[in-house]
Chains A and B, each alone.
Chain A
């Protein structure tokens, strides 16, 4: 091992109290988060196969037994399925946050002259790009099994955009879970709460076939609004007639829920992160 003197780096020239910019540090954290996904073949293959498998099960196993009025089941299912896929990738985000805490990345980051929140913003940005990839894959499989949107290109793109927004908004909840969990295993366990919320909603089946007490919950929880918003935009007129309200109604409520999630969970995440 030889002794090489380091080149005079710009760090030396910087004033002692200077902090690296929020944007730059967020980008570095986000890039690392993405590399961790994309360079793990298991993550890419397993994530894709899992999504596709569940889609096929819903489409071909349960699909025959489900009757939806006004549209085919595949057209009903895919918008809800695509939307909820961001919540399932969110479970992975919780685990990743817990790993970052446990494996020392957070310690390293916090010993560097970067803004405190850059771990959170970086994770949120990186996970959102990862969601984008997942959404594209699930949508493509959706098309392959016969889904055809009828909402017009602008609305269809807006539907896709809404899924990205929901993914970003609920990312903050998953970050909080990851920070609270302590270990990746516990984080995965806590993130299982995604299941009751996604299944007891209008994401995969019409709510009106559920028992009354369950409908009361299913009708009013955010995932129903978000699924219906995506559905209304993607399917256009016949679907909106069946839903009961125009697309704007669902989109507005869904965005209110999404904003609520950010307003509630982002400060919680920051508070918890600052304490850890």
Chain B
């Protein structure tokens, strides 16, 4: 197997009394989009900053494509591109100027920088706005430019720290498309997100972290499988019938049903595929009026809750 693009072993980082990373282990192989998923304060950003050589670790070992992040920061920096939570682009400069500046800082000559900037603008769908000051850009365009700025150095590893935080759904989809295109071109990506659907959409490997530790990892499908089978969801006609349906399902599955009053839904995790008809019979027998019944994959929300509560 080739050298992993990121390998972290027992990585520690403290800020005063707070432990941001508490012995985090993570291996990201080439050709994967790895999503770090976790709540605020889980240590996601701290880890990305460590990979980007922006902070010094207190312990453990962190290698990026085999280079030690602590001892060979220059080698790591030449391989990575970083796009942050804030769009670190300069509002008074044009999109093109922003990208050319970053390319020049990468050590490219004037002509190379111009070419790289033009190519990235095209790739990000910003060619038309290229020569306008960034202060006139929408939030989504700024974020795409920020992503572009992390690309002009032709990085082999792209670090995206909450790339779509604060974007409207349409801009979010556009940015997702842009990221997918990059992945198709062979760039490795490490991204952090609080959005489970974002990890589900983009990542081939998800690492769930909480309190500075990796608590679970695997492909989205593996993680869903880990909390067992599928989910049966019953939508009742009235709120009063929720508890009736819940107890009927619980008797059948010997599990804990989750009741959502607001949407009048009862859901329960089930083992095999044959139980849907059994569940339907049980609900019918309870006499409750049912609007809709669905058998579905557990959402990452459910995966996450199951893992962090454990």
Enumerate chain A interface residues (CB-CB to B < 8 A).
1-7, 9-12, 14, 16-21, 24-25, 28, 31-32, 35-36, 39-40, 103-105, 107-114
What residue of chain B has the Cβ atom nearest to residue A274's Cβ?
Answer: B56
What residue of chain A has the Cβ atom nearest to residue B104's Cβ?
Answer: A28
A9 touches B112 (CB 8 A): yes
Question: Which A residues are CB-close (under 8 A) to B149?
Answer: 108
B53 touches A16 (CB 8 A): no
A107 touches B105 (CB 8 A): no
A20 touches B116 (CB 8 A): no
B123 touches A3 (CB 8 A): yes
- Bound-state CA distance A5–B182 (Å) is 9
In-complex Cβ contact of B185 among A5, A25, A40, A110 (8 A):
A5
Given A3-B184, A111-B53, A113-B106, is A17 in contact with B154 using a C-beta cutoff of 8 Å?
Answer: no
Give the interface SS of chain A, mostly helix, strand, loop or mixed: loop
- Bound-state CA distance A12–B81 (Å) is 14
Question: Which A residues are CB-close (under 8 A) to B79?
Answer: 16
A14 touches B53 (CB 8 A): no
What residue of chain B has the Cβ atom nearest to residue A275's Cβ?
Answer: B56
Interface extent on B, as a size class? 35 or more
B88 touches A103 (CB 8 A): yes
Closest chain-B Cβ to A28's Cβ sits at a distance in Å of: 5
Which residues of B46-66 are within 8 A (CB) of A?
A: 49, 52-54
Enumerate chain B interface residues (CB-CB to A < 8 A).
49, 52-54, 67, 72, 74-75, 77-82, 84-88, 90, 92-93, 97, 101-109, 112, 115-116, 119-120, 122-125, 133, 149, 151-154, 159, 174, 177-178, 181, 184-185
B54 touches A111 (CB 8 A): yes
A110 touches B105 (CB 8 A): no
Question: Which A residues are CB-close (under 8 A) to B123?
Answer: 1-4, 6
Question: Which A residues are CB-close (under 8 A) to B124?
Answer: 1
- Bound-state CA distance A108–B155 (Å) is 14
Closest chain-A Cβ to B104's Cβ sits at a distance in Å of: 5
Closest chain-A Cβ to B144's Cβ sits at a distance in Å of: 9
- Bound-state CA distance A7–B54 (Å) is 28
Closest chain-A Cβ to B39's Cβ sits at a distance in Å of: 22
Question: Which B residues are CB-close (under 8 A) to A109?
Answer: 105
Closest chain-B Cβ to A4's Cβ sits at a distance in Å of: 5
What residue of chain A has the Cβ atom nearest to residue B109's Cβ?
Answer: A10
B105 touches A28 (CB 8 A): yes
Given A6-B116, A9-B108, A14-B107, is A1 in contact with B88 using a C-beta cutoff of 8 Å?
Answer: no
Closest chain-B Cβ to A253's Cβ sits at a distance in Å of: 40
Closest chain-B Cβ to A114's Cβ sits at a distance in Å of: 5
B82 touches A6 (CB 8 A): no
A17 touches B112 (CB 8 A): no
A9 touches B116 (CB 8 A): yes
Given A9-B115, A103-B88, is A16 in contact with B75 using a C-beta cutoff of 8 Å?
Answer: yes
14 A-B pairs besides A1-B178, A31-B101, A113-B77 with CB distance below 8 A are: A7-B119, A9-B112, A9-B116, A16-B67, A16-B75, A17-B72, A17-B78, A18-B78, A35-B97, A39-B133, A40-B92, A110-B54, A111-B54, A114-B105
What residue of chain B has the Cβ atom nearest to residue A29's Cβ?
Answer: B105
Closest chain-A Cβ to B254's Cβ sits at a distance in Å of: 49
B119 touches A6 (CB 8 A): yes
What residue of chain B has the Cβ atom nearest to residue A105's Cβ?
Answer: B88
A-B contact pairs, 16 of them (CB 8 A): A3-B123, A5-B185, A6-B154, A7-B119, A9-B108, A9-B152, A11-B107, A11-B108, A11-B153, A12-B154, A16-B74, A105-B90, A107-B49, A111-B82, A112-B102, A112-B153
